[in-house]
Structures are given as C-alpha cells and as structure tokens.
Structure 1
Amino acid sequence: MHAFNRLSTEWQATLLMLAAMLLFTVMGVFIRLSSQTIPVMEVVFFRNFLGALCLLPLILRSGIKTIKMVRPRLFIYRGIVNFIGMAAGFTAVTLIPLAEVTALNFTCPLFITLGAAMFLGEIIRIRRIIAIIIGFFGALLILQPGISEVSLGAMLALVGSLCIAGASLLVKKMTETESVNAIVLWMVVIQAPISFVPAYFVWQWPDMEGWVLLICLTLAATIAHICFTRACGLVEITSLQHLEFVKLPFAAVVAWFIFSEVPDIWTWIGGAVIFLSTAYITHREARADKSMRPNHGIRESKL
C-alpha cells in the first residue's frame, strides 16, 4: 500500500482502473459458474442481497443522513430498470461467450447519449451522431444479422446494455438532489426484493460450492465498483476511457482459460469499432462539459 501511495496520481488511477476491469471480468465468470448450481434469477437476487449486506456497514458509518432519499420515485424507477438490465445481462453471460457479451456491453454509452438527447433535452451534434451510427455498425459486425442467426444471448446482452443506460440516465438525474451513498446503497436494497419475486418460483438453496461462488461474485462486483469509483475520483474519466477496452482481452483470456471459449474475429473487430465510437463520444461530452462550467455559470452533473 505504501508503494502504491508513492505512485503518481495518474499511475494510481490507471492501476485502479485495470483492477476494476479485471474484477468486472471475474464477476462475469462467477455469474456463469454460479448459474450452473442455481437458477440465474437466484444469482441476480443474491448479487443484490449480499451486496446490500456488504455495503450497509460501510455506508452506515457515514451516518443515516447520508442515505436519505429526497425523491423516492427515482430510486424505485432506477431499481426496476436496473434489475431488468441485470437480469438480461446475467442471463446473456450464461448463453453466449463472455467476450461477446463484453463487446456488446460497449454499446451502453451509445444508448446513454441517445437517451440524454431524447429524454433529458441534451444536444448532440453531427460528429457524435456519426459516432453513434458507427458504434451500432460495430454491434452489427458482431451480430451479423442475415448472415448468421442472432442468438437470444446476444439480444439479451443488448437489452441489458440498453437498460443499464436507462438506469445511468436516472442516476444522472438523481445526482442533482441525492447523495452518492444513497444512490449506491438503495440500488441493491430496492433490487433485492424485486429480484426475489422471480427467484422464488425457481428457488433452489445453494450448496456449499454455490455459496462460495456467490460470495466471490459479490466481492468481485463490490471491489470492482470501489476501484472504478476511486479511479474516476483521481483523474478525469476521459483519461481512463481507453482502459475500458482491456475488458475484451481480459474476457477472452479468462474465458479461454476457464471455459475453453475462443472469440471469433468479428467479436474483436466489432468490439473495437464500438469502443472507439464510445471513446470519441465520451471525449466530446467531456469537452462540452468543460466549456459549460464554470465560465458560463452552468454545472452539469456527471455520472
């Protein structure tokens, strides 16, 4: 830890971001392994339930006031949308190669940009529109509709990405009035009972191996989010954007080692096209945000 603290801020942020990307990949592995012992809807439930148990003592140390909800409806809407995205994404991980899910998840910033224009009234100019079109072309390279059958897993991965984008837009709105602690904690607290409903109808108690996998899944997800948040707090998020792409080789290597999966060339090409378009969009949005504050007296909330 002392050696880490002696590093420059940029290097600290880079290492934290790489750790987050690796742990997000590991999370996908534990999702698939857990779903081999219990139904995937139970995996979603335990991800939220155990996540709440992990976060509760950490956040309560900051005080009850830090988790007060100012606009409860937004928390409920976010919980429902995020649950649908999580259920779709978790199911996709069990149906198609991990690298393909990872590549399709790169579409999330594209959906966020479109949603911000449609529902939040944000203006997107021609260069970002072109970047969005190119990004969705990258998704078509992976899916190859008309050439090969589009799998249910691929469609669920896109549905999950779309829903997570919707949840992110709600978070963007929530940051105007809500604390970070409240947003983080109430997500899993609200999603736990929602996810219990479908899990109840397929319920199977996990065996010892299942409990170990679920705990590892929760720890990987929680630590990944902490690393990601800390990295974004150290430097501008645009300076870390290029590191998001390492999720694809991470997923390819881990999935090959554990599941003997080898992604095809179109997953790599399509993933790269989607990533480059989203990196450009993030760069343009960051420049626009800087131009709006503080000289113009406007401050826009960032995710």
Structure 2
Amino acid sequence: MILSCFVLSIMGGLIRSVADSGLPVFEIVFLRNVAGLIFILPWFMKNGFSSLKTNRPWLYGFRSIVGFLSMFTWFYAVSVLPLADAVALNFTSPIFGTILAIFVLREIVGIRRGMAMVVGFLGAMIILRPGLEEMSLGAYAAIFSAMTMACAATCVKLLSKTESTTAIVAWTQIIILPMSCIPALFVWQMPTLDQVLIILGIGFLGTIGHLCFTKAFSLVDASIVMPFDFFRLIFSAIVGFLFFMQEPDIYTYIGAAVIFSSSIYIAIRESRVSAAAAREKEALAQSLADTTSGSGR
C-alpha cells in the first residue's frame, strides 16, 4: 500500500508536469489510456480475447463512463490545484461510497457510520472554507472525481461477483479508450518526444500503482490497509514542494486528517460488519450440517 501511494504520487507529479507543458487535459487522458492498454497487452497475449466474454456489458459500460469522468476531473484537478489539496479532497471518496452502498447495494448504515460521513464532510469544508475562500473549479473537479470514483468502485463490487479483476481492468481500458479519443480530437496537438515519454511514465506508474493497491486489499482487511493510504498526502506534499514549490496551508492538513479519520472509521466498520456476517453465515451452515447429520442417524 505504501508503494502504491508513492507510485501514484509520482504519477500525479507527472500529470501536473505534462499539463504545465501545454498538453490539453483531454489529450493527456486519452494518451494515458493508450499507454495503459499497452501495458496490459501481455495479459491479452497470455489469456486471449476469449477471457473477455461477459454477460454484463451494460454494467461495464456504465463503469467505464464514470471511470472516464473520474479520470478527467482528477487529471484536471491535479493540473490546477496543489497536489496535496487534490489528494486531500480525494479522501472524500469513501464517504460517497457509503452513500451509494445505502441506495445501490442496499446496505444498512448505522448511526456511527452516518456520523463518520458527517465528520468527513466537515473535514472537506475545513479545506474548502466556503464563504471565506472562493471555491475554484479545480476544487469542484476534485470532489466530483471523488464522487465518480465511488460510483466506479460500486460498479466494481457488483462486477467482481461474476468477473475477474483483470477482465474488469481490461474492459475498462478498452471502453474508455474510444470514449476519451473523441474529446481529445477537438484539442489535439502533436505531443513532443518529452511529453510522450512522460505519458508512458504515467501509464506505467498508473498500472503499477493500481496493481499494488489491489494486491494490498487482497492480502489483508481494508481496516488494516486503509490507514497507510494517508501516505498519499505525505508523498504528494513532498512531490509538490520539491518540483512545483507548492506549500499546502495548515487547513489542508487539518481537513485531510479529519476526512481521513472518518474514512478509516467507515473502513473499520465495514470490515467488522463483513466479518460478523461471515461468522453468522458459517454458523448457520454448520447448524444445518449438524441437523442433517442428526436426521441421518
């Protein structure tokens, strides 16, 4: 998880760098998806296109749409906001994910998780300070990116019941590529060699970062992994200071800590609820097995 945070923070710095060089954000998003597809080609070569067979094309389509919107607004936010500010606002994604879990996944959210969502919202208000500071378009983009990221994560939860992780990643890349090509054509300018190399770096780091992220969650519970996600803010602040002379104010750190604390609490509660449900299911199965065995005697 720490390696994922480090890699994704470097990727954020590269996005800011190539945007500062004059390449339009729509074009950056398209080229990043081209690079991402290049880096998953070995998977296609090994498994073949038959591994992409699915009965849920519409859900893949919706997941790709919200994924594209999340990627575009995130790239834009990183290109205009200090990296630490963009990452801090991005921590609101689990809050939106909890809201979606209520209405889409039909999960029951208790008073404690509800209060954690309110606390997370207050943390975002500390960073944005509406009424005291004028909210920028970049701040709105960062929050919208967190919302659409939560939508994409909810789609992945639904897809993962029947689809493999690699198939989900591959289908997303395949669908987003033509989707991101259309707006890129209207702002297209021939990238320089330096810009192409940076884009390849973004695609490579994005692939590595998300593989590390996914691996971390496959090894241990979310409640153990999530606290380390705060390293993203630390690494992003360092990258922003060293390469772009960005110095986040104290409100960014305070607000990020508040948001992150609420996100950690939500992750812990989800982990405990899932564990309790698993134990209850196991106990029920054991009870049925004992009953069946008894009736057999």
The residue that corresponds to 1:260 in the other structure is: 245
Size of the aligned set, in residue pairs, is 282
1:69-113 per-position Cα deviation (integer Å, ceiling 9, x unaligned): 220000101101110111111101111110000000000000000
The residue matched to 1:148 in structure 2 has which SS?
coil
Aligned pair 1:28/2:28, yes or no?
A: no
Aligned pair 1:136/2:121, yes or no?
A: yes
The residue that corresponds to 2:135 in the other structure is: 150
Give the Cα–Cα distance (whole angstroms) in 1 for the partners of residues 50 and 161 of structure 2. Answer: 16
Give the Cα–Cα distance (whole angstroms) in 2 for the partners of residues 294 and 131 of structure 1. Answer: 25
Give the Cα–Cα distance (whole angstroms) in 2 for the partners of residues 185 and 126 of structure 1. Answer: 38
After TM superposition, give the deviation of residue 157 of structure 1 in Å: 0.2
Give the Cα–Cα distance (whole angstroms) in 2 for the partners of residues 168 and 65 of structure 1. Answer: 25
Within a 5 Å distance, the mapping from 1:1-303 to structure 2 comes to 17-35=1-19, 36-296=21-281
The residue that corresponds to 1:5 in the other structure is: none
Give the Cα–Cα distance (whole angstroms) in 1 for the partners of residues 126 and 150 of structure 2. Answer: 21
1:185-207 per-position Cα deviation (integer Å, ceiling 9, x unaligned): 11111101001111000001111
After TM superposition, give the deviation of residue 173 of structure 1 in Å: 0.9
Runs of 4+ aligned residues of structure 1 deviating over 6 Å after TM superposition are none
Q: Would you say the 8 A contact 2:100–2:154 is kept in 1?
A: yes
Q: Would you say the 8 A contact 2:222–2:268 is kept in 1?
A: no
The residue matched to 2:85 in structure 1 has which SS?
helix
The residue matched to 2:281 in structure 1 has which SS?
coil
1:94-133 per-position Cα deviation (integer Å, ceiling 9, x unaligned): 1111000000000000000011102221110000000000
Give the Cα–Cα distance (whole angstroms) in 2 for the partners of residues 130 and 219 of structure 1. Answer: 39
Give the Cα–Cα distance (whole angstroms) in 1 for the partners of residues 154 and 29 of structure 2. Answer: 22
The residue that corresponds to 1:3 in the other structure is: none
Give the Cα–Cα distance (whole angstroms) in 2 for the partners of residues 21 and 67 of structure 1. Answer: 29
The residue matched to 2:247 in structure 1 has which SS?
coil
The 1:65–1:179 alpha-carbon spacing in structure 2 relative to 1, beyond 3 Å, is farther
Larger Rg over CA atoms: 2
Give the Cα–Cα distance (whole angstroms) in 2 for the partners of residues 229 and 115 of structure 1. Answer: 21
Q: Would you say the 8 A contact 1:49–1:189 is kept in 2?
A: no
After TM superposition, give the deviation of residue 64 of structure 1 in Å: 3.6
1:26-73 per-position Cα deviation (integer Å, ceiling 9, x unaligned): 111111112224111011001111101111222441344432222000
The residue that corresponds to 1:8 in the other structure is: none
CA RMSD of aligned residues (A): 1.3
Identical-pair percentage? 40
The 10-residue stretch of structure 1 (247-256 or 30-39) with the greater mean CA deviation from structure 2: 30-39
Give the Cα–Cα distance (whole angstroms) in 1 for the partners of residues 152 and 239 of structure 2. Answer: 28
Give the Cα–Cα distance (whole angstroms) in 2 for the partners of residues 30 and 174 of structure 1. Answer: 31
Higher helix share: 2
Runs (5+) with no aligned partner, structure 2: 285-297
Could you state the TM-score of these two structures normalised by the residue count of structure 2?
0.92
Q: Which amino acid aligns with 1:28?
A: G
After TM superposition, give the deviation of residue 294 of structure 1 in Å: 4.8
Q: Would you say the 8 A contact 2:3–2:212 is kept in 1?
A: yes
Could you state the TM-score of these two structures normalised by the residue count of structure 1?
0.90
The residue that corresponds to 2:294 in the other structure is: none
Q: Which amino acid aligns with 1:27?
A: M
After TM superposition, give the deviation of residue 265 of structure 1 in Å: 0.3
Give the Cα–Cα distance (whole angstroms) in 2 for the partners of residues 126 and 231 of structure 1. Answer: 29
